[in-house]
Structure 1
Amino acid sequence: MSERVRTVLGDIAPEELGVCDAHDHLFISSPALPGQELDDAEAALAELNAFAALGGNAVVQWTPWGMGPRTEELPGLSRRSGVHVIGATGMHQAKHYGRDETAGVHDDLAGLFVRDLTGPRVKAGLIKVAGAYHRLDDHARHVMAAAAEAHHATDAPIGVHLEAGTAAMDVLDLLCGTHGVSPRRVILGHLHRFPDTRMHRAVAEAGAFLAFDGPSRVHHATDWRLLDSLGALADAGHAHQLLLGADTVTALARSGADGPGMPFLLGGLRPRIERELGAALATAIFIENPSRAFAARWRP
C-alpha cells in the first residue's frame, strides 16, 4: 500500500504536494475567541491566491471538529486557487467548546475522527489534538487516546497544538509510549513559543516532526529566535523533521489586512532561510518534509 496525502479533493502522491504551509487556518471560530472568527470565504480565497502567487502549492488547515472548519467549502477554494488543501478532524482544548457540544460525542470520539477521515464526503487528512499549558489535563488525555485509536485504524498523522510550546515530551510519552503511535506520525506544533533548544533536540531525537508555526502572529514574542532554532536543529542532524506554517487565526493577521499572513512564509521567511541557513534546508522545510509528514498508508 503506497503512501498518499489526503487532500479535500482526493488523495495525491506525496511528491505532488509541493511548497507547503504546514499549519494554517482558512476558517476557525471559538467561544474563547469572540469577534476573532475567520469566516469570510472570499478573504480565505484571497489569502490562498496571494500564497500561490509566491509559489505556494499546499496549505494544511488544522481547524478541528466543532471549531467552524467549513469543510464543505474547502474543495471549492482549492479548485479556485489551485492550492492543495488538507483538512483536519480532531478536537482542541475544552475551552473552545460548549459543554453540551462535547458531551454528545465524548464516548465515540475515535469513531467521529475515523468517519471524518474516511467517510463519503470531504475527507480530513489530519487529526488535530491539543495539550494544556505545561501539562495534559483529563480532556487532553481522553482526546489523545481517541486520536491514537483513530490513527491505528486509518494511519492518519496526528498534529498537536502545544500550548505555548510546552508539554512536548508528555505528549510523546502518552501518544507513543502509552498508545503505540509511531513518533514519525506525530507533528508537534508551536515549538518556537517555548524556545528551549535542549527540549527541541530531545523531541527531535524521539523521532517526531517539529512544526515551527505562527510567524503571522503580530508581535509574537519569540519570532526573533525562529531561525536560530531551525539552524540549531539542522546542525544537530534533524533538518528532515522541520516544518513551518503561518498559523493565521485572526482576520487582522491576514495579508489582506494588517498582518503578513500566509504569503510571509514565502516572501519573508523562505528567502532568509535560503540566505542564512542554506537552500537545501529551505527545500526540506517547505517541500520534502511536508510530503512525508502528511502522507499515510490510508486504510479503509
Structure 2
Amino acid sequence: MRIRTVLNDLVPEALGVTDSHDHLFFRSAVLPGQELDDEAAAVAEVRAFADAGGQAIVQWTPHGLNRQASLLPGISTSTGVSIVAATGLHRREHYQDGYVDKVQDHLAEIFVRELTTGIGDTPVRAGLIKVAGGFHVLDGHAELVMRAAAEAHHATNAPIAIHHELGSAADAVLDLLVDELDVHPAAVILGHLNRFPDHRVHLELARRGAWLAFDGPSRANNATDPRLTDCLAALIDAGYAERLLLGGDTTTARARAATGEGPGMPYLLTHLRPRITRHFGADIADAVFRSNPARAFATDWRA
C-alpha cells in the first residue's frame, strides 16, 4: 500500500498529520476575483500549517481548475510538507463555458493518464479522483463524471473523493459508485458532510463503509460550523471514529490564514485539534489527523 504524493509514493505511516481536504491553487467561474493563484501565498500558507505541526495536505482541486501541478513539488520540497494532488472533474458551473463539453467524452482516459503518467506536461501524478454530486440528486453531469471516475478507479485503484453540494446526495453517490459500479466503499471519501448536519444521515452513511470527511470551519460553510463537534460526537459514540477525516477546504484567497482573513489551514491544528482532544481524547484526535488519512488515501496502485 502506498500514498501517491507529488514527489513520490509514500508508505502510509510516513504521511503524518494531515489536512485531508484543502486547496493550494483553485480557480472557479463562480468565485471571480478570489482565485488561489499566488505561489508565494501558497507557500506561506503551507509553512504556517507546518509550523502548527502539519505534515501533509491533500489538494482536492481537480482537472481544469488551476491545480498548478508544476509548482507543487517545489512547494512540498521547500516546506517539508507532503502534497497529494487530484484528478477528476467538478460541477459544470465551476468551468468556463464550453470547457466541459470539450473533455466529457474523454474523462476516464484523462483521469487514468493523470493518475499514472502525469498532470499536463509534468511528471506529477495525481493521488486521488475528485468528483461532485448535485443538490440532493445526481444530475446528468454528475453521473457522467462519476461513471468515468469509477472506470479510472478500477484501472488504478485510486480513491474517489466527492464534493457533496451543501452536503447532500451522499446516499445517491454510494448507490451509484458502490452498489451499481462496484467501487469498494473504503475507496470512497464523502466530503462536506458538515454542510448537512443530520446525525441520522451520517450514521447511515457510516454503516455503508465509506470515509466521512468534515471540511472546515471555512468561509464556505460557516453556517454549520457550530454543529461540527456534535456531528463528530454522534459518529464517535456510535463507534465510527476510524472513518472520520477533517480538512480546511480553503477555496478563496480571503480564507487563507497567512495572507488573508482566515481561518485557513493552520486552524485545523491550532484550534480544531485541541478542541477534539479536549472533547474526545488524544487517541481520537490522532486517528482523525494521522491514522485515518494514512488509510483513506493509501492504495495498492495498479500503475
TM-score of Structure 1 vs Structure 2, range by shorter chain: over 0.9
Please say if residues 218 and 259 of structure 1, whose CA atoms lie closer than 8 Å, have aligned partners that are also in contact: no
Structure-2 separation of matches of 1:26 and 1:249 = 8
Paired residue type of 1:220:
N
Correspondent of 2:285 among 266, 278, 282 = 282
Aligned counterpart, 1:65: 63
Structure-2 separation of matches of 1:199 and 1:296 = 27
Q: Deviations over 1:198-223 (max 9, x none)?
A: 00000000000000002132770110
Gaps of 5+ in 1: none
Q: CA deviation at 1:98?
A: 2.8
Single out whichever of 204-213 and 120-129 deviates more from structure 2.
Answer: 120-129
Paired residue type of 2:101:
A
SS in 1 for 2:98: helix
Aligned counterpart, 1:263: 266
Identity of aligned residues (%): 59
Structure-2 separation of matches of 1:71 and 1:282 = 31
Correspondent of 2:85 among 65, 84, 87 = 87
Structure-1 separation of matches of 2:277 and 2:188 = 26
Correspondent of 1:182 among 184, 193, 214 = 184
Aligned counterpart, 2:128: 126
Aligned counterpart, 2:150: 148
Q: Deviations over 1:148-207 (max 9, x none)?
A: 000000000000000000001000000001110000100000001100000000000000
Structure-1 separation of matches of 2:96 and 2:57 = 28
Correspondent of 1:31 among 29, 32, 35 = 29
SS in 1 for 2:223: coil
Paired residue type of 1:235:
D
Q: CA deviation at 1:123?
A: 0.2
Paired residue type of 2:87:
T
Please say if residues 194 and 227 of structure 2, whose CA atoms lie closer than 8 Å, have aligned partners that are also in contact: yes
SS in 1 for 2:129: strand
Structure-2 separation of matches of 1:247 and 1:23 = 6
Paired residue type of 1:275:
R
Q: Deviations over 1:3-53 (max 9, x none)?
A: 100000010000000000000000000112111100001100000000001
Seen in structure 2, the aligned counterparts of structure 1 residues 218 and 135 have a Cα distance that, compared at 3 Å, is closer
Gaps of 5+ in 2: none
Please say if residues 216 and 262 of structure 1, whose CA atoms lie closer than 8 Å, have aligned partners that are also in contact: no
Please say if residues 38 and 251 of structure 1, whose CA atoms lie closer than 8 Å, have aligned partners that are also in contact: yes
Aligned counterpart, 1:51: 49
Aligned counterpart, 1:208: 210
Superposed, 1:241-256 pairs within 5 Å as: 241-256=243-258
Residue 159 of structure 2 corresponds to residue 161 of structure 1: no
Paired residue type of 1:299:
R
Structure-2 separation of matches of 1:69 and 1:236 = 37
Seen in structure 2, the aligned counterparts of structure 1 residues 179 and 164 have a Cα distance that, compared at 3 Å, is same
Q: CA deviation at 1:101?
A: 1.6
Paired residue type of 1:292:
R
Q: Deviations over 1:238-258 (max 9, x none)?
A: 000000000001111111221
SS in 1 for 2:109: helix
Please say if residues 195 and 221 of structure 2, whose CA atoms lie closer than 8 Å, have aligned partners that are also in contact: no
Aligned counterpart, 2:17: 19
SS in 2 for 1:105: helix
Q: CA deviation at 1:104?
A: 2.1
Pairs aligned (count): 298
Structure-2 separation of matches of 1:219 and 1:67 = 20
Question: CA RMSD, aligned part only?
Answer: 1.0
SS in 1 for 2:57: strand
